[in-house]
Structure 1
Amino acid sequence: MLFNQPIPVLMHPNGIPLSSPQCRSAHHAVRDTLDVVGGKWKLVILAVLRERKYRFKELSRAIGISPSILSKELQELEMNQLVKRTVYNTTPLTVEYERTPYSNTLEEVLEAMRTWGNLHHETIVGRKRVAA
């Protein structure tokens, strides 16, 4: 009888059942992370801001993102204390964006994504990415 068989428990590679509180907690942590840095642009913005401070239009051009989308993304990054916005009283006003010290907690994530992205490019395209 197939219906009397026990349902197998799916296991994480480390031996913890996937339905355990530890796994659910890990899933929530990943969801929280994606809520803050998910989407197409946030990690790209943070990666570009690794180099130096950028003015708004300069950052928009460097990334290739529309000003309206960039504005929204920067507001969310600022709200999550990952980006600092500085307004200078010049004519016209100058606005600069830079990473906060707190954003450095994402360094391992950015580096891992860069490494994996290069590996993925090499795997799919069949050759290493040429530095621009």
Structure 2
Amino acid sequence: MSVDLNLELLGKALARLQESLDFPASQPLVVDASIQRFEFCIELTWKTLKKALAMEGIAANTPRECLQQAYAAHWLQNESEWLSMLKDRNLTSHTYKEEVALDIYQRLPAHLRAMQALHQLLGQRFDA
């Protein structure tokens, strides 16, 4: 394939998110770091999806379009879960509000599992 999906980079970012989630949330820096790493992961994930879809001849330019097209291609199991991830990504600019940060943090393990599953699928599909 002539397009590099950066699956290795995505895998490393997901591992870093897992690493931060392995620490106890009793430390505010753990919550903040985990949210920051989630932001990196979701950005890298949708940009990877955009490239993968383009390799299949499917145009998608925004994060929402990429998720919708990936769901239509059966690459994602639960579209609403992924749209929730985008919503959380958009809410991360409000993590100065502790209750918002903690709500997002509680959803990060599920978000991580979904991104890991997609990473694995893309690796298999594109023989990375």
Q: TM-score, normalised by structure 1?
A: 0.28
More strand by share: 1
More helix by share: 2
Q: TM-score, normalised by structure 2?
A: 0.29
User: Looking at CA atoms only, which structure, 1 or 2, has the larger radius of gyration?
Assistant: 1
